[in-house]
Amino acid sequence: MNLDEKFQYMSTGRPYDDLDQLLVDARAKSTELTTKINNESNEAKKEKLVRQLFGEAGKAPFVNPNFRCEFGRNIFVGDDFYANYDCVILDGAKVTIGNKVLFGPKVGLYTSNHLFDAKEREIGGCIAKPISIGNRTWLAANVTVLPGVIIGNDVIIGAGSVVTHDIPDKVIAAGNPCKVIRPITDDDKTGFVGHDFI
């Protein structure tokens, strides 16, 4: 089984061997590439490296140091993706992120989970489920998103939240476990129009 076939198998949600040498080598390459990204100060060169790492990226993807991911090739981002400092994405399964999505510092997306049985876990047993985040969504600082979660469009996830289940469009949600607090409405508008606001 080659690496592409391995990822296809992992995407089915069946248990896989996390210690498989193909995956170990792929993680090492990802670590090498993210180190280059984190050390690159030229924005054009940095964007080129991000595009090399991700499975797909829209216009102007940006990640602050120290960005880390497990493989990179299972991450698909839309236009104007922004990840603040110390973002971690474990992409054993596909991670899909929409347009104009903002991540605060120390956001973590984790598609993979170790198996519950101790003996199976000890020999490398894992399972992965995809994560999806809609357009114009903001994950505040220290948000954790667990395997299989779908977060909708125009959502705010409050700082420190642990997102264990799906979150619908256009709401503010927070907590551990993360729960919807209220919808986002026209009353939330401030009249801000951009750079000339002041």
Catalytic residues: 114
Rounded CA separation 193/176 (Å)? 34
**Closest CA relative to residue 157, chosen from 145, 139, 183, 144:** 139
- At residue 25, the 3 state secondary structure works out as helix
Query: CA–CA separation, 140 vs 102, rounded Å?
Result: 8
Please list the alpha-helical segments (H only) found in the chain.
Answer: 3-10, 21-39, 43-53, 118-122
Cβ atoms of 27 and 70 closer than 8 Å: yes
Residue keyed to tokens 């997306």: 109
